[in-house]
A and B are shown apart, each in its own frame.
Chain A
Amino acid sequence: MDYARRIGTYEESMRTEEFCAIFSEKPRTRVTIDELDGEFKKLDQNLINNLLNSIVTLRASAAGKVIDELMLGTSDVEIDHVPRTPWSLT
């Protein structure tokens, strides 16, 4: 925390913290390698490739501009290559 303040990310992280509670259904604390591999294998085999195909890349120096565009809902500029499918929540 002290470091986050010193580094200058504290204020920004404040907005996000505990936001990623989507997978918080009583997580197991002793998952074994085999169990996790078993779960992993149940998933769609194309999943990883599909995720990789959705990658959007930009330079950190363009972040400010892209934030503005996202806030305005006009984000299609300054991104190196556009994802094949538009962002959406299932």
Chain B
Amino acid sequence: MALILVRYGEVAIKGGAGTRSRMERLLMHNILSGLRGGIGIGAKAIRSQGRLFVEVPDDRVKESVDLISRVFGVKSLSPVRAYVFKELNDIVNAAVKEWGDLVRGGRRFAVRVHRVGSQNFTSMDVAKAVGAALKPFSAGVDLERPDIVLFIEVRGDNAYLFTEVINGPGGLPLGSEGRLLALISGGFDSPVAAWFMMRRGGSYVDALFCSLAYPIDVINFLRVSHALFSRWSIGYDPRLFIIDCSPLISEFRAKANPHMWSALFKRVLYEVASRVARTIGALGGLVTGESLGQVSSQTLHNLMAIEHGVDMPIYRPLIGLIRTT
């Protein structure tokens, strides 16, 4: 079995021990159910002093790393080799065994050590000893611009050796907050807005789509939803709601002022969405991809008029962002 070390900075510093423990369990659950449900890997996870260690089969490390790097709450991760040591020299031997070949061929390297617990040596001692032992194999030590960085994390009587640090999305574990309903149009902005709320708010996000040109627009909505949720909603299978909004077209043509059609459409959409949200218990509110000035109808005035009468929060995480094409 291979071991993956998972760091989760923000979860670890949250609130009291109760909140933290709940978040850690949620994070573990999301990782394990993602590995099992997503790519059929039966894994084990162990919690240890603000870190998670996930055990996966040796030949599935790459896929596992790819999946875990998309789990919200994960700050970064590294495939590691674990060694139990008695004295400093054991770590040095382990490093030579792991990395002797790696630094060969004219490569310059650096050793970075992180140490937790009480040992009779310092991080610097480890770095110096390992550096000295590996130097003969290599083109020398270069702490400024190394070709390869060798990391050692010492915890109690365990040493974890790794060379890669892969970034995760950060944020909070999905499910640690409430439930939101995202209005997805299939354009660029709304899926990004949903993603922001999933990451930052740790919320389960379901999606609602208002179809005006079935089936082509529904197909596009499903494609976008699939791209978003299959990659990112790890540990939760979102519900997708599709509404046939085509009756609006004739209704608007017959009765409404054409210059207000787009605002009126939104008004109707918010009304419908807030009712659906209440029905499914998405009481956290709605998420939209609106951004000020993105289209001529997305003004402060219009947003105020559109959301009048909607009795739940509307989150617009893109509101102040500038879109670059």
Contacts and interface: CB of A to CB of B under 8 A. Distances in A.
Interface string A1-34: 1111001111111011111101111111111110
Contacts of B192: 3-4, 7, 9
Contacts of A87: 211, 214-215, 218, 244, 246
B297 interface: yes
Contacts of A31: 260, 263, 301-302, 305-306
A51 B231 contact: no
Contacts of B228: 7-9
B261 A23 contact: yes
A67 B188 contact: no
* Dominant SS among interface residues on chain B: helix
Contacts of A19: 186-187, 213, 217, 220
B246 A55 contact: no
Interface in A67-90: 67, 70-71, 75, 83, 85, 87-90
Interface residues of B toward A: which range?
Answer: 35 or more
Interface stretch (B16-24, B50-58, B125-133, B267-275): B267-275
Contacts of A66: 222
Given A7-B195, A27-B296, A57-B241, A63 B222 contact: yes
Interface in B190-216: 191-192, 195-196, 207, 211-215
Q: Interface centre among B192, B195, B211, by most A CB within 10 Å? A: B192
B222 A89 contact: no
A36 B249 contact: no
A58 B232 contact: no
B222 A67 contact: yes
A28 to B, nearest CB: 5
B202 to A, nearest CB: 17
B13 to A, nearest CB: 25
18 contacts: A1-B188, A7-B231, A9-B224, A13-B186, A19-B217, A19-B220, A27-B260, A27-B263, A33-B304, A43-B256, A51-B247, A51-B272, A52-B276, A54-B244, A59-B239, A85-B244, A89-B212, A89-B213
Given A55-B241, A55-B242, 4 more contacts: A20-B212, A48-B272, A51-B248, A56-B241
Interface of A: 1-4, 7-13, 15-20, 22-33, 35-37, 39-40, 42-44, 47-48, 50-52, 54-61, 63-64, 66-67, 70-71, 75, 83, 85, 87-90
